[in-house]
Structure 1
């Protein structure tokens, strides 16, 4: 029954043993345990700080990516606008060049037509002149005394000749 009703000596030695154990644990176990817990706490804090830094860095990267994407879109739009302007200028230049060429060709054709017209008129005048000379020659060959015969001759010659 000594265990159920402890005596003063048992309590005294139990307390002394507990205090010695507590002292030994504090001297040899608590510091390493508290150091490990403190290290663990510091590691967790560092991990949280690193995670926060990584999150901030990711936000910055995302913002940079969005800015770069906006710049790329703006540059693409500028390039497309410039390409459209170049295309329109090239089309306009080609139309102007084609119009100039057409005007030159029309001018050349008109000049050629005018030249052909002048040539045809000169040929016609020459032909009329030679016909007139032939008629005059034939009239002169006939007797000049009979005027009625001369008129008949001229009229018959005129009827026989055709203008080409």
Structure 2
């Protein structure tokens, strides 16, 4: 619409500065035109007045706005899910490392180890992983099986010749 008036970004920014009563930088206008800056309602109304149009005409097609909103929401949700998944993975590998260290130390002392499970066994603990897997398209039952299998304790046959069974918490002398 700026081009329809034959204005440069500098000219439109000057007109907006006058209408708003505060400086409106041409670089801000450039970011706005590229969709890299949001606009508040007050600025939108003034911009529409300066361009002699309605504010809705500046917002674009309603369907495109819905798509943009849906894309932004999906992007936020996927980032949140990735964060939860990353935290779960970090927690798993932290406790897995603790388990391995404790098991190895016990085996080196000649102790029989039965049970060094340091992460929760409840299905609810793996629901964030299940959520990510179902969002990726896996059926719920498959996602639950994959999450449970990926996070469940692993029975070890032996460590340095000592019988080891990873199960419930406890050491046997």
Q: One fold, TM greater than 0.5? A: no
Q: Which has the larger radius of gyration?
A: 1
More strand by share: 2
- Report the structure, 1 or 2, having the larger helix content: 1
TM-score (norm 2): 0.29
